[in-house]
A and B are shown apart, each in its own frame.
Chain A
């Protein structure tokens, strides 16, 4: 159990366009999902906490108008990178809490390249 699906796995977009990344919990309901960002050879940094039916909570320094998060249902959260620029190129990964004894489960990640 506790499977998280993330799509797309890889995306290349032109500078100035917007990109949507989906994160789905396949076999459980997730009232809270988390979005992380990882630069090459670095650790994962939490960007925001996505709450079903309410506004996301963003970490300090993360632009909420650039990284739009929507958690419309108990199984789906989306991250939209708006007006993407080359510096937004990164690996984005989502997670959700499954059963307590297993901790958090992560999606497979999305590698975004902005050209």
Chain B
């Protein structure tokens, strides 16, 4: 099956700093999503981004499908950004298996 690796596994930053999280995948995909899992376990859908670039406030994401990677940028980090960030990919178009990456645990220190 498809392999999804995220880096770094852990990241500790001071409030206000910027960060870049990376997601590499081993095969072509038709769906890629970035999620933030909060301390209560809820998965918040950040971006649906199988290709191209999107921005939403302090967050933006870029997927280069031909090179099989995606990047999540967080600017001016806040303590509420702490949690685990997952990317997940799907090879088909809906109703197929969504494979999750290994995750990046982000801790923002006040």
Which A positions have Cβ atoms within 8 angstroms of B? Answer: 31-32, 34, 36, 38, 41, 43-46, 49, 91, 93, 95, 97, 100-106, 108-109, 111
How many residues of B are in contact with the other chain, CB < 8 A? 23
Q: Which of B51-77 contact A (CB under 8 A)?
A: none
- B103 contacts A93, CB within 8 Å? no
Partner of B102, one of A36, A38, A43, A103: A43
Interface residue? B110 (CB, 8 A): no
* Interface of chain B, main secondary structure: strand
- B45 contacts A103, CB within 8 Å? yes
Across-interface contacts of A91 in B (CB, < 8 A)? 41
- A111 contacts B41, CB within 8 Å? yes
A-B contact number at CB 8 A: 55
* Interface of chain A, main secondary structure: strand
Which B positions have Cβ atoms within 8 angstroms of A? Answer: 31, 33, 35, 40-43, 45, 48, 86, 88, 90, 93-95, 97-103, 105
Most interface-central of B43, B45, B97, B100 (chain A CB within 10 A): B43
| Contact of A100 with B100 at beta-carbon distance under 8 Å, contacts A106-B45, A108-B41, A108-B42 already known | no
